[in-house]
Amino acid sequence: MQQILSKYFIKQKMMRTVIISLIPLILSSIYFFGWRSLLLLLIVTAAGIITEGIYEKKQGKKISEAIFVTCVLYTLTLPPGVPFWIAVVGIIFGVFFAKEVFGGFGKNIFNPALVARAFIYVSFPEPLTIKWFKPATGFPGGFAKYLTESIDAVAQSTPMLKFRETGITEPISNLLFGNIAGSLGETCAILIIIAGIYLIYKKVASWHIMASVLIGFTVTDTLLYLLGSSSIPNPIFGILSGGFLFGMVFMATDPISAPKSKEGKWIYGILIGAITVIIRGYALFAGGMMFAILIGNTFAPLIDEVVKYFKNSRKEKRKEVTA
């Protein structure tokens, strides 16, 4: 196995660390929704590797191990019952148009996993926004099922959709432990938080971005909530639902599509957090985190340039004063 990886893939220790952090979420997706989630992951990964492999072979290069991270993250953002062909179309689009056309790994502006998710979200809205499945409970949970039972009523759908339609918020305990309907890897807040701590400990993900996203979201959500906006839930519910934590830990911290300067990371994170609240509360989309990060990706290079400009301006002023 090691020989195959070294022959066809570029070894990337950082990416392997991210995969390790995602293993509990992969297992939880099977427990909550059945073995179909693992089959979906394998199909998506195969399609992603083939897509990148075809392009890189023409360039005389190896496939980056980052493709595994992209495929896992993308799969974990999908509903349990999404048709396989739709998932494959998404990963092909994301890998090619968000990564390879920019020159491959390290040159992409946007997060490929999010571009893939956004593409099928707007292209196939029904299977991505309407069809959800009940989470399994007890033992052995989804490990004894191919796919759990589907949901018909809005009152049993994802926490954010339920809040939008009824104004009812899910109990915090359900949000923490994953006893809710939702995307495969975004339901169990505790596992995502543990993964975030692990990535920070391994110095793989930026704590500056995680902290600033959390601050931007909490401040904006709290202000609008206290002002009486009926479309804005309390901040704790908002943080623990709608894929916010998953996006904060795994997507916003992508080192390629995020700013490189420390100051830029803070601005970037606060921007993402604030935009998420606005999209959730006043746009058509119940989640918001996906589009907020893609908007942040758009401004990331500009943010770094602005930070660089002000730093250089300060240096010039200091030189003039000392002169």
Average pLDDT, the chain: 91
Yes or no: say if 13 and 204 are a contact pair by the CB < 8 Å rule. Answer: no
> 57-89 b/e with 16+ CB inside 10 Å = b?
eeeeebbbbbbbbbbbbbbbbbbbbbeeeebbb
Reply yes or no on whether the pLDDT at 1 is more than 60.
no
Q: Quick one: pLDDT at residue 154?
A: 60
pTM, whole model, 2 decimals?
0.94
Worst-scoring range by mean pLDDT, 12-16, 26-30, 223-227, 315-319? 315-319
Is 311 or 135 the better-scoring residue by pLDDT? Answer: 135
DSSP string computed for 144-168: G-SS--EE-SGGGS-HHHHHHHH-P
Q: Quick one: pLDDT at residue 66?
A: 93
DSSP H or E run through 92: helix 84-98
Judged by DSSP in three states, 139 sits in: coil
Q: Domain 2-309 is of which CATH architecture?
A: Orthogonal Bundle (1.10)
Non-local CB neighbours of 315 within 8 Å, separated by 6+ positions: none
Yes or no: say if 73 and 113 are a contact pair by the CB < 8 Å rule. Answer: yes
Provide the percentage of residues in the chain whose pLDDT is more than 70. Answer: 95
DSSP string computed for 179-236: -S---TTSS-HHHHHHHHHHHHHTT-S-HHHHHHHHHHHHHHHHHHHHTT-TT---HH
**Amino acid identity of 84?**
F
Q: Quick one: pLDDT at residue 285?
A: 77
Q: Quick one: pLDDT at residue 313?
A: 83
Q: Quick one: pLDDT at residue 317?
A: 75
**Amino acid identity of 308?**
K
Yes or no: say if 65 and 9 are a contact pair by the CB < 8 Å rule. Answer: yes
- Rounded distance, CA 278 to CA 83, Å? 30
Reply yes or no on whether the pLDDT at 155 is more than 60.
no
Q: pLDDT per residue over 243-291, tens digit each?
A: 999 999 999 999 999 999 999 999 999 999 999 999 999 987 777 899 9
Yes or no: say if 37 and 30 are a contact pair by the CB < 8 Å rule. Answer: yes
Pairing of strands 132-133, 150-151: antiparallel
Mean pLDDT over 86-98 rounds to 96
Q: pLDDT per residue over 182-231, tens digit each?
A: 999 999 999 999 999 999 999 999 999 999 999 999 999 999 999 999 88
Is 19 or 130 the better-scoring residue by pLDDT? Answer: 19
- Name the token pair of 263: 């100051």
Reply yes or no on whether the pLDDT at 2 is more than 80.
no
Reply yes or no on whether the pLDDT at 83 is more than 90.
yes
